[in-house]
Structure 1
Amino acid sequence: MKKAFSAALALSVAAVASAQSAVVPPDVNKPVIKDHAMVVSIQHDATDAGVEILKAGGNAVDAAVAVGFALAVTYPQAGNIGGGGFMLIRPGTDKFAGGKPHFLDYREKAPAAASRDMYLDKDGNIIPKMSTVGSKASGVPGTVAGLTFAEEHYGKLGLKRVMQPAIHLAREGFVLSEQEANNFHGSILKNQPESYRIFQRNGNFYKSGELFKQPELAATLQRVADNPSDFYKGQLAEQIDRFERANGGIITAADLAAYECKERTPLIGHYRGLEVLTSPPPSSGGIVLLESLNILEGYDLKKIGADRSPEQIHLITEAFRRAYMDRGDYLGDPDFTTMPLKQMNDPAYAAAWRKTIDPKMATPSKDLVRPTGFMPEPPKQDDKPVHESPQTTHFSVVDADGNAVSSTYTLNFPYGSGITVAGLGFLLNDEMDDFASKMGVPNGFGLIQGPANAIAPGKRPLSSMTPTIVSESESCMTVKLRSKQQVCHPGKLRLVLGSPGGSTIITTVANDLISVVDNSLDIQSAADAPRFHHQYLPDVLQFEKKFPVPVVEAMKLRGYTTKRAAEFDEKSAGQWGDSELIARDPKTGKLMGGHDMRRNYGKADGY
């Protein structure tokens, strides 16, 4: 068998080598380079909003809040005030944010009326689309609480100033590109009267070059700017409550009043001598990222093969496979579930996992056995098997003092539940699908989830969002005042990372990081490079459509079941994710922005 494999692999070497230059994109798109500050997002008007705030004297949080509210106007399929997400904040100086990193969790929560089996019929089977479309698909929105909390605690300019660009964009409108106008054609909007009226003009679809105005949303944003508590404990909350009751929803004014943004402790790991600051639960992304990197730390990837070569893809995939196995068994809302995060981030555990990796061939997921002596017994699943969405969005900000924000937020699937709150102009999420509607049954992204992520009132669903910031390790020195005291300063910033993409978010962030740190790609090439993904179950190695076929074929020879996205759909680009990245050149100190060219209406800019 090994001889046959070696012979087959040898035959494919030439083809793979010739394709290798096509794996890394041609050097056409260059990073945007700025001296002082940078904003990168999926929509150019939102990027401009952030840059405007930075130039007005705002810090990275001010700019991030401006971008977040602006995307609620200009990127309604994912930007939102009716969804939720995470914000990772890293100080560049001792004077910012208390000199400590912060992680804001403004993930949606299950309403009080939610129940474990709410999406099952009388026979215990999942009711199709009930958790993704319509009145009962939404969790309690957290975005307004999160962005206003960030501004109040870590911003400088105040909420009214940083929301001004978003209110202007909603009231006066913004010009649609062809891609943006086409985005409004989603079928989910047609079935909801208010959404159909606003986004599809009752069938008279918007065209490229037209101005898109949202007066109801402008008025709602102005009310938030004037009094942010109104959304959760005032007249806005009462309006949402009345709308929900009239349309069969279960979010109440009491649910809104009980919502709060939570500060959680970011996770910290290390890779190739760099500090990796990332997201804790209820994001699964950070710990899965760190576990994967810990496994890969034991390999010299650059020596083993080129970026996205079969040799690298094999080892990276096997690391993903093992970390995603732990994700499904152990992770959930930290307020409801105790999780073995320390063990998952243990280098000794990673070393034990590494011993189970065949250097040449795939390990089928069904044959994977977790190393003993490290992890507790996983919770039992109630049933044996019967997906967080690609329409999330990420943005990255660095200010002139080196303070950085990495933020990812979402409605879940495109346009969330499809429901726009009448008179208020914003869409509600369909985030309840991120819970395990039934134990052992895949969600909308094929992820198998355990009891730790079961539906419960007030619970936050597990997420794959992975806002991440990489820096040099902090420098510490002992100084003599009246007594000896250790003083530490933040290390120099290196990378700000993140992406949408549902279950592929974690692997996208990992590959972006590896491409820059291990393989020396510039930040734009990393953003544009074709992607691959494995999540333990289903046991399939997935590739974007533009991934070179010889590389995919080489992975089949290693024993992988492979799938190229939308391979037989001529109308689909077969791609996922949207990396909006910032790197700081360690030699010059200049900032380099990489906007993912999969979307032509985004932008990296600064000053």
Structure 2
Amino acid sequence: MGRTLLGSVLAASLAFVPAVLASGSAAAQPAILSGNDRVHPVAASHGMVASQEARASEIGLEVLKKGGNAVDAAVAVGFALAVTLPRAGNLGGGGFMIVHLAAKEGEASGKIVAIDYREMAPKAAFRDMFLDKEGNADSDRSRYSGLAVGVPGTVAGLAHAHKTYGSGKFTLAELIAPAEELARGGMAVSDDLAWSLGLAMLRLKKDPDAARIFYQPSGAPYGVGDTLVQKDLADSLQRIADEGPDGFYKGPVAAAIAKAVTDAGGAMTEDDLAAYEVKEREPVRGSYRGFDVVSMPPPSSGGVHIVQILNILEGFPLAASGFGSAETMHEMAEAMKLAFADRSEFLGDPDHVAVPVKALTSKAYADDLRKTIEKERARPAAEIKPGDPAPYESAETTHFSVVDADGNAVSNTYTLNFSYGVGIVAPGTGILLNNELDDFSAKPGVANAYGLIGGEANAVAPRKRPLSSMSPTMVFKDGALVLVTGSPGGSRIITTVLQIIVNVVDHGMNIAEATVAPRMHHQWLPDELRVEEGFSPDTIRLLTERGHEIAVKTTMGSTQSIRVRPGMLTGASDPRRRGAATVGY
């Protein structure tokens, strides 16, 4: 298989075909669901990819059709999104991946592993580096300077997944090839990309390389249908294809990244890049009404708090009270508050602090927390403190889900943090740098960009990974995979993924219904119940009467989900963001 193996995917614009309802037979040709279209579940019987960008989904599907497994497809999608969705897909960021390898003949069970390729603070990082001379948290330092940039993990993470869990039928170079071809040959700018470049123009134009790459010589943004060429990024991808991760973490690319960070006021070195390590961790596991939930462990807070909230909700009859009722929403909001209060105190990088995962996810602790929830009154945030779970033991992000014909699956969430990260391209590389270190607690008790409060457990330290809300998640029933899901959305990732699970398990929704249903979110502080439009005015009135401060705001998340049934896969891409696609065959 040559370097142009998957190039046929790129030769023509995508042809969209009608989606197939879950009750229908699988289509002989790929079934594609665009985030711009009315959402029906897409059905397939062999394999499926759901991502936030249609071309990347097609690239992953082509890998499956050529005999690759879910991990092979996920790696190809991950590299492709660095080209097609540059505001979130990345080489210069990091993330988390859950891999499920289905049991082979003669095996009692399969394998599930959590791959942590989260960014790390450089060796020179120190606890108070985001404070000004008066000792106050300085958001410019933590979000827009070189100090904000963590050592990227994406290339190492994708390469590790391929080497350890890939099918062996594809080289890493073959999986990178479609992304390189798109970057070098140019691609038509989608409406989503044109929109995001317009929004980011003032910030990106401050950086000469970003301005040169992402805007026309006249300075105008690229419009829909214009051709965007990313030659520098193509060269970086070529180097990674030829040399493996060393092509990124050593040599000219590493030198350019370290220099760009230093020039912007940071202190990253080539040694920091060379020292980066991927970590395999034991996933967080929980149970909910007979289903098993598997999600990402710390330094993600997502898995812990999804399980914790589900444990609390298990004591309430949500199916009886119904989706969107004041009773259901009140109980969910109160459970969310309790979990986010605990997040502020106990969660951090497990390589640096002791995180009480077992205690936080225990049914007994949830029973105690549930007793504090009042049926007719919303407890003010001031009354809620982090609990006692002892004993110890982006919004601009993007998610994709993959399931193959053998039942292997990948749930992957990765990010640059803000849209286009810190807004700096390492000269000559085409690689956007992250501003992920804003996810540390710049100063305990001071909110970050997403309003999240952090404590000592998430303080800055050398070679430490900042806490994240990214929550790639899978759900099983009697050992069989039934759901693969995840979402971007900053702090709202946790509650978005939670609601996909609740909608499917408690409310019996199909995957499209679960995806489009209006969402809610409470994170303890700020003390407001954030809701999307679509809930009944009567429900909002009843919640207000109980003491909830209602804030109707923009949509939350962009879930990419696959529902697994015997002989049938159904999937849906969230319509909340443009350009997404679920494809299957």
Is the structural similarity TM-score above 0.5? yes
Paired residue for 2:64?
A: 54
1:103 to 2:114 alignment: yes
Stretches of structure 2 that go unaligned for 5 or more consecutive residues are: 1-36
Distance, in Å, in 2 between the alignment partners of 1:205 and 1:97 is 55
Paired residue for 1:466?
A: 471
Distance, in Å, in 2 between the alignment partners of 1:244 and 1:326 is 34
Q: Which amino acid aligns with 1:471?
A: F
User: Aligned-pair distance for 1:236?
Assistant: 2.1
User: Aligned-pair distance for 1:537?
Assistant: 1.3
Q: Which amino acid aligns with 2:330?
A: H
Q: Is the 8 A contact 1:43 1:603 kept in 2?
A: yes
Aligned residues: 542
Distance, in Å, in 2 between the alignment partners of 1:509 and 1:315 is 17
Within 5 Å, give how 1:205-216 maps onto structure 2: 205-216=221-232
Distance, in Å, in 1 between the alignment partners of 2:79 and 2:38 is 32
User: Aligned-pair distance for 1:377?
Assistant: 9.4
1:595 to 2:573 alignment: yes
Paired residue for 1:437?
A: 442
Distance, in Å, in 1 between the alignment partners of 2:450 and 2:261 is 27
Find the partner of 1:363 among 379, 389, 392. 379
Q: Is the 8 A contact 1:91 1:97 kept in 2?
A: no
Q: Report the secondary structure of 2:96's partner residue.
A: strand
Distance, in Å, in 2 between the alignment partners of 1:412 and 1:550 is 37
Change (3 A) 1:316 1:159: same
User: Aligned-pair distance for 1:517?
Assistant: 0.8
Paired residue for 1:152?
A: 163
Paired residue for 1:580?
A: 560
Q: Report the secondary structure of 2:215's partner residue.
A: helix
Q: Is the 8 A contact 1:189 1:200 kept in 2?
A: no
Distance, in Å, in 2 between the alignment partners of 1:522 and 1:205 is 39
Paired residue for 2:13?
A: none
Paired residue for 2:332?
A: 316
Paired residue for 1:130?
A: 141
Paired residue for 1:165?
A: 178
Find the partner of 1:72 among 82, 85, 98. 82
Paired residue for 1:487?
A: none
Paired residue for 1:114?
A: 125
Find the partner of 1:336 among 343, 352, 357. 352
Paired residue for 1:17?
A: none
1:251 to 2:251 alignment: no
- CA deviations 1:373-410 (Å, max 9, x no partner) are x42599xxxxxxxxxx2100000000000111000000
Q: Which amino acid aligns with 1:158?
A: T
User: Aligned-pair distance for 1:576?
Assistant: 2.2
Distance, in Å, in 2 between the alignment partners of 1:368 and 1:281 is 23
Find the partner of 1:193 among 208, 211, 226. 208
Q: Which amino acid aligns with 1:531?
A: R
User: Aligned-pair distance for 1:551?
Assistant: 2.8
Q: Report the secondary structure of 1:604's partner residue.
A: strand
Q: Is the 8 A contact 2:147 2:261 kept in 1?
A: no
Q: Is the 8 A contact 1:134 1:419 kept in 2?
A: no
Q: Report the secondary structure of 2:349's partner residue.
A: coil
Out of 553-562 and 541-550, give the one that drifted further.
541-550
Within 5 Å, give how 1:515-526 maps onto structure 2: 515-526=503-514
Change (3 A) 1:280 1:180: same
Change (3 A) 1:97 1:192: farther
Q: Report the secondary structure of 2:292's partner residue.
A: strand
Q: Is the 8 A contact 1:353 1:370 kept in 2?
A: no
Distance, in Å, in 2 between the alignment partners of 1:212 and 1:499 is 27
Q: Which amino acid aligns with 1:131?
A: S
1:403 to 2:413 alignment: no
Q: Is the 8 A contact 1:507 1:533 kept in 2?
A: yes
Report the identity percentage. 49
Distance, in Å, in 1 between the alignment partners of 2:88 and 2:349 is 22
Within 5 Å, give how 1:414-563 maps onto structure 2: 414-473=419-478, 491-563=479-551
Distance, in Å, in 2 between the alignment partners of 1:326 and 1:313 is 20
Distance, in Å, in 2 between the alignment partners of 1:461 and 1:452 is 10
Find the partner of 1:273 among 278, 282, 290. 290
Q: Is the 8 A contact 1:294 1:350 kept in 2?
A: yes
TM-score (normalised: structure 1):
0.87
Distance, in Å, in 1 between the alignment partners of 2:261 and 2:489 is 29
Distance, in Å, in 2 between the alignment partners of 1:261 and 1:171 is 29
User: Aligned-pair distance for 1:546?
Assistant: 4.6
Distance, in Å, in 2 between the alignment partners of 1:514 and 1:321 is 17
Find the partner of 1:184 among 188, 197, 201. 197
User: Aligned-pair distance for 1:77?
Assistant: 0.4
Q: Which amino acid aligns with 1:392?
A: T
Q: Is the 8 A contact 1:412 1:431 kept in 2?
A: yes
Q: Is the 8 A contact 2:191 2:578 kept in 1?
A: no
For the aligned residue pairs, the C-alpha RMSD in angstroms reads 1.9
Distance, in Å, in 1 between the alignment partners of 2:483 and 2:239 is 36
Q: Is the 8 A contact 2:484 2:562 kept in 1?
A: yes
- CA deviations 1:135-158 (Å, max 9, x no partner) are 221000000000001001111222
TM-score (normalised: structure 2):
0.90
Distance, in Å, in 1 between the alignment partners of 2:440 and 2:149 is 11
Q: Which amino acid aligns with 1:117?
A: D
User: Aligned-pair distance for 1:460?
Assistant: 0.1
Paired residue for 2:22?
A: none
Distance, in Å, in 2 between the alignment partners of 1:223 and 1:506 is 36
User: Aligned-pair distance for 1:260?
Assistant: 0.8
Paired residue for 1:33?
A: 43
Q: Report the secondary structure of 1:360's partner residue.
A: coil
Distance, in Å, in 1 between the alignment partners of 2:295 and 2:108 is 17
